[in-house]
Amino acid sequence: MKKIGQWLGYSVLGLAAALTLLAWVGGAINWNQETPYALALSWGEKGSGPGQLNDPTGIAVTNTEVFVSDARNGRIQVFDHEGKFKREFGATGDGIGELGRPMNLTIHDEKLYVPEYMNDRIQVFSLAGEPLEIIGEPGEGPGRFNTPGGVAVADNGDLFVTDFYNQRVQHLRADGSFVKQWGTTGETAKGAGEFTYPTDVALADDGTLYVADGYGNRVQLFDAKGDFLRKWGGPFALGLYGPFKGWLTTATSIAIGPKGNVFVADFYNDRIQKFTAQGDYLTAFGSVPDNPSHTAMAVAIGSDGTVWSVNFADNQVEKWQPLQKY
């Protein structure tokens, strides 16, 4: 009996040590390096009228306006920075100017890029809401999409698109012609440069490509030449999910702040996490849902560092600012 007790004791100690190491590697044992952000403003409620939302899934900002993907209503709504409704455009359908569940939004060169979940394409609008062009069509071949979720635009107009169900990220020219892809079409995997339902992308000033590998529960980085650099999220970024600091449980959106920090919408953990450009954890913040589902669906960063997000569960837009140190 003594030997059995010793064995159980050693097993418990070994398990505790393993869990401690796992938590350490994944970033759980890591105090906030920066102060969290506080909710400064929120607006919205469920509905289909002006200013109401039904499953918001994307957000982008200018110095004066906030653009929101109102997915189930098949439209983009535009507000000022205080939440006042200004205009809307798009209606569910498949024609030019009509939207089928818009997703993560990107603004580049005074144009709004809108990936469409239902229509397997990207539409480009003026900021006033005028339809300009359509890029892509349904399919698995080069330059085709099966539910694009996010798009980043380089200074030369090249596009980088997360192709959700095709399990890849595509690099296209401005006219939609194919350049290259990362990931194997239709196959999920956990290795470097492989994806499990990627959701969004962002480009840093130096050309580094950041990919929110959605159900891979991690972020992957590629340099300006397209070569893999690093990954983070949970132990060794192997796809394990959890609530710890630095871990992710379905990364649905990614954005880069004016100082190069990286913000990730950690959907099932109801929070936005902030990292350095290299993936070191800095802080986290978010809203507890008042309704079923989860909150932190999409994130965008203003030129002044203000964080904007959409609360999917409660159909709201949220504005976050750092807590002041005293």
Specify the residue for token string 């070191």.
280
Query: What letter represents residue 258's amino acid?
Result: P
CA distance 103 to 8: 51
Cβ neighbours of residue 321 under 8 Å, at least 6 residues apart?
37, 38, 40, 306, 307
The total of other beta-carbon atoms located within 10 Å of residue 103's CB is 28
CA distance 309 to 121: 24
Q: List Cα–Cα distances, 24 to 18, 36, 233, 235, 269, in angstroms.
A: 10, 21, 12, 8, 19
Domain boundaries, the chain: 31-322
The total of other beta-carbon atoms located within 10 Å of residue 88's CB is 17
> CATH: 2.60.120.430, 1.20.1630.10, 2.120.10.30, 1.20.140.10. Which one for 31-322?
2.120.10.30
Specify the residue for token string 């902030």.
274
The total of other beta-carbon atoms located within 10 Å of residue 261's CB is 18
CA distance 191 to 320: 34
- Are 202 and 210 a contacting pair, CB within 8 Å? yes
Specify the residue for token string 């972020």.
219
What string of pLDDT tens digits covers the 326 residues of the chain?
444 344 334 444 454 444 444 444 444 445 688 988 999 999 999 999 999 999 999 999 999 999 999 999 999 999 999 999 999 999 877 788 999 999 999 999 999 999 999 999 999 999 999 999 999 999 999 999 999 999 999 999 999 999 999 999 999 999 999 999 999 999 999 999 999 999 999 999 999 999 999 999 999 999 999 999 999 999 999 999 999 999 999 999 999 999 999 999 999 999 999 999 999 999 999 999 999 999 999 999 999 999 999 999 999 999 999 986 53
How many residues does the structure list for the chain? 326
Whole-model pTM: value is: 0.91
* Residue 225, φ and ψ in degrees, nearest 5: -90, -10
